Structure 1
Amino acid sequence: METESSAMPLVMVAGIRADQVASTAEAVRCSDPAGTALVHHDLREVAQGVVRRLIRRGGTEQVEVLELAHGCVSCTLREDLLPLLRRLTAAPEVTRVVVQLDPALEPETICWALQHVEVDGRPLTTDVRVEAVITAVDAATWLADATGEEELVERGIGGSPDDERTVAQVAVGQVEFADAVVLLGEADDRWTQVRTEAVIARLSPAAPRVRWEPDPRVPSESRLDVPGLLARIPGGARRGEVDGPYGPLLRGQPPLDTDAGVSTVLFEERRPFHPERLHEAIDVLLDGVVRTRGRVWVASQPDVALQVESAGGGLGVAHGGPWLASLAPEQCAEVSAERQVRASLNWDDYYGDRVQELVVIAHEADPQHIVRTLRRALLTDDELAAGEQAWAHYADPFGEWHTDPCGDDPAERSADAAGERRNRS
C-alpha cells in the first residue's frame, strides 16, 4: 500500500460555470505543464449514455467519446474516471493530476468515491491524495445562483433527466467544500461584490480567495499564481475529507458579525422540537437564507437525529442516524473516537448527546427572527414534563421525510435531500 507521502497529488477544480472551471483548471495544469495531466468528463449528454472525455498532458490533447451502458454520473465515475486515475498514477511521466469537474458534479461526491469505491480491489486513496479542491466562482452571478430555485435540468446541466438538484445546492456545495476559491470577473455593482464575498467567507472561512481575470490575448500577463494560492491553504484544510452526518457544522472560524446584511446564525438548544410546530416554522430556513446545515431532535423521534440542509430556495430533511444516547454500550464502541469525544464534551446526564444544532447563513433574513421562530417550535415546559410516552403520540410530518437507512454516499444523500425538497411557494 502506498504511503500518503508517495501518493500522487490531485487537484480538483469545481464550479457552476463550465468556461470558468476550464480556464482555472488549465491555469493549474500550466503551473507545472511537464508532469501534470488534466482530465475532464463532459456530462452534457450523459442522459443519452454519451460522455466526452478530455485528457491533456504535455503538448498532447485527446478527446474520446465514451458510450456507457447506463447514462448517469455514478457510472461515469466507476467505469471511467476512477480507473483512468489509477492508470495515470502508474504512468512515470505523470507527477500530478488535475480533475476539471463538470458543473453538475460536486467535489464531495468525487472525494467520497476516491475513498470508498474500489478499483482493482483497493480505493484510489492508496495512489492519490487530494492536494486541494479549488472552486471557480463567477462574481457576477454566483450569489443569484446560490439563492435561487432553478434546477440543474432547467439550465441544461443536470447529471441525468431525473436530477432534481438545484443550481443553488450545487453552487453552495462546491464553495463549502473548497480549500481555495478563485473569483472571476466583477459583479455589476460593488454591493453585490461585497455580499458575494461575505457569503463565501462564511461558507468556507479557511479557504484563501484570489481574484483573477484570464486574458487570452496576453496569457503570460494574466497567469494565475497557482503555487502561491496552494501555499496559502492552511494546514488544517479539508483536502477532500468528507464529513458524516455527525461531522462538524463549522470549519475554520467564520465571521460571526454581520457584513453587508450577511450573517451567521448559530442555533443550539437542549430540548426537542414539537414536530408539527417545527414543520410550520421550517420555512424560516428558506426565506432570505443562503445555507442551513444541522441536526435536529424531534420529540416524536427520540432515537434518531434528522439532518437538515438548505441551499437557496430548497430544503431537505433526511435521516441522520442514531444519537449515541440511544445505542447500547457495545454499539457505541463501534462509533468513531472523534464522534465519541465530540459528544462527551456536551453530554447531558438525562438527554445524552441529543441537542439542536443548526448553522444558518442569511443574506436577507433577520437573524433574531430566525432564532425566535425556531424557539417557538421547541417543546414548552409542560410538554417537556409530559415525557417521551406523550411525545410518541404527536403527529409527525417528518415521519416519511427520510430514507432509512440513509446511504453513506454523498451523491445518494444529495438525491434523497433533493427528492424531499420544499420550495418557496
Structure 2
Amino acid sequence: MSTSTSTPTGATATAPADAPALPVTVLSGFLGAGKTTLLNHLLHRLDGLRVAVIVNDMSEINIDADLVRGEGHLTRTDERLVEMTNGCICCTLRDDLLEEVAELARQGRFDHLIIESSGISEPMPVAATFAVPDADGNPLLQGARLDTMVSVVDAAGFLSELGAGDDLVERGLDAYEDDERTVSDLLVDQVEFADLILVNKIDLVTPEQADHVEAAVRRLNPLARVLRIEHGQVDPVELVGANRFDLERASRAPGWVNELNGDHVPETEEYGISSLVFRAERPFHPQRLWDLLSSGFEGSGFGTILRTKGFFWLATRPRMTGLWSQAGPVARFEPAGVWDPADGLALGYSPEDLEGSETVEPRQELVFIGTELRHEALKSALDSCLLTDEEFHTPWERLADPFPVWDVRGVHAHHQHA
C-alpha cells in the first residue's frame, strides 16, 4: 500500500501509554549499495518475529517494495509492508513517516519495524523523527524507539563516488527544490551517523581495496561497528534487537570530533588512510586561503582529502568564527557563530537577528582525513595562509576577502566554493 495519511507539522503521534516501545532498525545507503538485497536476506532469516517494513522510494513507483514483496517474505498476515513513494523520509515525507510508525506502534502487533530509506536519505533527520521533542518536551514520536542505524556501503564504488563530488541535481536525484547536496555529502552523512556500517560487495574488490574502504569508514566513524559482507548477507542479531542506538553517542560519533578531542592518534595510518589536525592561534589571510583552495587544493601534492571539518578564523571577520566542511572535493564555508552576542551587536545585527545564533570561540581547529596524506606539505601550505608578523600588526579590515558574505541569522545557509 502507499501512504496517504499525514500529520500536521509539529503534531505529536502517540501510541498507547502502556504499550512497549516498538524497536526500529533504519537501513541507509546510497543507490546500488545493496539495501534491498540485505532486507530480503534479513526477512528470510527472521522467522518467529512479527516484522513490519516501511520501504521509501523517491519515484512514484516503489521498485524496492515490489522486490521485497516479490521475494515472498512478507506473506503472513502478521506482517505488513508499507510503501512510501514520491518523496524522501528525511525531508518531504517526514510527517508521513511519523504517522505510519505511530500507527504501527499503536497496533501492538509487531515485534520489530525495519525501515529501508531511499538512496538519497540522510539518517540524522530520520533519527530526529524519533528523538526530537515537541514544544512541551515530549517526544514527537511516542511508542517507538530506535534500535540500530545501519549504513550499507558499496565497497566497489564508495571511494570513487566520494571523490567525484557530483551534485545530486546533476544526477537527477535532488529530493527537494534547491537541493544543493552532493553525492559526497550524502555518503559522508550516511557513514558518520551509523551505529553499524556494512561494507557490502567485497566479493567485487580485492582484499587491498576492501582494506582501504574499511579503513576510510572507520576513520570517518570510529565508534561504529564495521562488518564486511557479500550479497547483503549478515547475521540478523547484528541489526535487529541489537540496541546499538544511543543519541548522545550518535551526536559525537563523527571521526573529526574524535580527532579534535585527541581520541585517535592523528599520525596513525591504516591502509593509506590518515588524518591531520591543524591548530593555530592566528587568523587566515582570506585571499591566500582562497587562492590555496582555488589553485587545486586536491591536486597540490597533499594526497586525496576525503573529509575536512572544523572551525576556522578569517582575519577580515574578527568577530565571527567559520565552519569548514568538506566531503570529497566539495568544500563549504559558513558561519559557525559570533564570538559573543555583544560582537554580533557591534557588527550591526539586531537582537532579533542574533536570536538562536551560536557563541563560538575564535580558532583554527581543523581535521583533514584522507588517503596518502602528506602531513608536512599540507601543514606548511596552511601555515603560509596565516597572517605574517607584519600583517598581524596592520589593520585587518584592509585585507582582500573573496569569501562569500556571511549572515549569522540562523547560520544554516551553505556557501559552496567552486
1: CA distance between counterparts of 2:33 and 2:224? 22
8 Å Cα contact 2:147/2:243 also seen in 1 = no
SS at structure 2 position matched to 1:137: strand
Q: Among 349, 371, 374, which residue is 2:382 paired with?
A: 374
Q: CA deviation at 1:202?
A: 0.5
SS at structure 1 position matched to 2:164: coil
The residue aligned with 1:153 is 169
The residue aligned with 1:35 is 50
8 Å Cα contact 2:333/2:417 also seen in 1 = no
The residue aligned with 2:284 is 273
1:158-217 superposed Cα distances (whole Å, 9 cap, x missing partner) = 3246433221111121111111111111243333222211111110112111122238xx
1: CA distance between counterparts of 2:141 and 2:217? 29
Give matches, 1:281-296, under 5 Å.
281-282=292-293, 286-287=298-299, 288-296=304-312
Q: Within the alignment, does 1:169 sit opposite 2:185 as a pair?
A: yes
Aligned length: 377
1:282-332 superposed Cα distances (whole Å, 9 cap, x missing partner) = 35764421111111111222222211111112111112122358679xx9x
- The amino acid of 1:422's aligned partner reads H
Q: CA deviation at 1:101?
A: 1.2
Deviates further, 285-294 or 233-242: 233-242
Q: Percent identity?
A: 25
Q: CA deviation at 1:34?
A: 2.5
1:317-355 superposed Cα distances (whole Å, 9 cap, x missing partner) = 112122358679xx9xx999xx99xx8xxxxxxxxx321
8 Å Cα contact 2:147/2:241 also seen in 1 = no
The residue aligned with 2:6 is none
8 Å Cα contact 1:13/1:99 also seen in 2 = yes
The residue aligned with 1:359 is 367
2: CA distance between counterparts of 1:118 and 1:236? 19
2: CA distance between counterparts of 1:225 and 1:252? 34
The residue aligned with 1:226 is 236
More helix by share: 1
Task: Rate the CA distance shift 1:109–1:93 in 2: closer, same or farther, 3 A.
Answer: same
1:363-389 superposed Cα distances (whole Å, 9 cap, x missing partner) = 144222221111111112233234xxx
8 Å Cα contact 2:151/2:196 also seen in 1 = yes
The residue aligned with 2:10 is none
2: CA distance between counterparts of 1:103 and 1:304? 36
Structure 1 unaligned runs (5+)? 216-221, 344-352, 408-412
SS at structure 1 position matched to 2:223: coil
The residue aligned with 1:310 is 326
Aligned-CA RMSD value: 4.1
Q: Within the alignment, does 1:140 sit opposite 2:169 as a pair?
A: no
Q: Among 27, 30, 43, which residue is 1:13 paired with?
A: 27
SS at structure 2 position matched to 1:289: strand
8 Å Cα contact 1:309/1:316 also seen in 2 = yes
Q: Among 386, 393, 398, which residue is 2:398 paired with?
A: 393
Give matches, 1:53-202, under 5 Å.
59=76, 60-62=79-81, 64=83, 74-78=91-95, 80-116=96-132, 123-160=139-176, 162-186=178-202, 187-202=204-219
8 Å Cα contact 1:290/1:362 also seen in 2 = yes
The normalised TM-score by structure 2 is: 0.75
2: CA distance between counterparts of 1:32 and 1:300? 63
The residue aligned with 2:417 is 422
